[in-house]
Amino acid sequence: MTDIFDQIIDGEIPAYKIYEDDAVLAFLDISQITPGHTLLIPKKHLQDIFEYDEDTAAQVLSKLPVIARAVQNSNPDIIGVNIFSNNGEGAGQVVPHSHFHIVPRYAGDNFSITEFNNAAQYSDEQYQKIANSITSHLQED
Ligand code: AMP
């Protein structure tokens, strides 16, 4: 299935490209949550993080700090960078082609990723049960 990012990779629709090699492409996100908001994607069509093979993971993730540093250094007003990836419609993924958002932060911008601390609701047993459940699924790789 071809998606809008495949079309950008193939040059069928334009994008403000930042970096490109055989395996990855970085370009400005059209929505510009903040100025410099960039996407890093694999050229291989992978819908989400769950479809990654080791080689593609290495190719994409090794470039994440490179792009993040470039974004950070591109403007002296940038005070930090949020990196996130939505995987699955339930997690807010809209474009079905894996991508990492690199969002530079500026003093007074209105962007926020809200984190909750639910630690008070967890016993040692509950933590251990969850950890065991996740660990038991590592072998599926
Ligand atoms: P997500 O909600 O994580 O799937 O994010 C998809 C992102 O793709 C959104 O932030 C969109 O603004 C961005 N996007 C969609 N179409 C384009 C496009 N043609 N060029 C650049 N970014 C795009």
pLDDT tens digits in sequence order for the chain, 141 residues long: 799 999 999 999 999 999 999 999 999 999 999 999 999 999 999 999 999 999 999 999 999 999 999 999 999 999 999 999 999 999 999 999 999 999 999 999 999 989 999 999 999 999 999 999 999 999 765
Q: Is residue 61 part of a domain?
A: yes
Quick one: pLDDT at residue 139?
74
| Pocket residue to mutate for ligand 1, from 4, 7, 18, 113, most atoms within 8 A of Cβ | 4
Asked if residue 132 is part of any domain, the answer here is no
What was the pLDDT predicted at 124?
A: 98
Tokens of 93: 């993924």
74 inside domain: yes
Long-range contacts of 22-28 (CB under 8 A, 24+ apart): 23/56, 23/59, 23/60, 24/59, 24/60, 24/63, 26/63, 26/67, 26/102
Supply the range of the domain harboring residue 84.
4-115
- 41 in a domain, yes or no? yes
Q: Which two tokens stand for residue 127?
A: 């933590």
What CATH number corresponds to the domain at position 72? Answer: 3.30.428.10
How many domains, in total, are found in the chain? 1
Q: Say if ligand 1 is within 6 A of residue 94 CB.
A: yes
pLDDT number for residue 140? 66
On whether residue 129 sits in a domain, the answer given is no
Of the CA atoms within 13 Å of residue 57, those in its CB half-sphere come to 7
CA distance 42 to 56: 7
pTM, 2 dp: 0.96
In a domain, 78, yes or no: yes
Q: Catalytic: which of 37, 45, 99, 101?
A: 99
84 in a domain, yes or no? yes
Q: Could you tell me if residue 28 is inside a domain?
A: yes
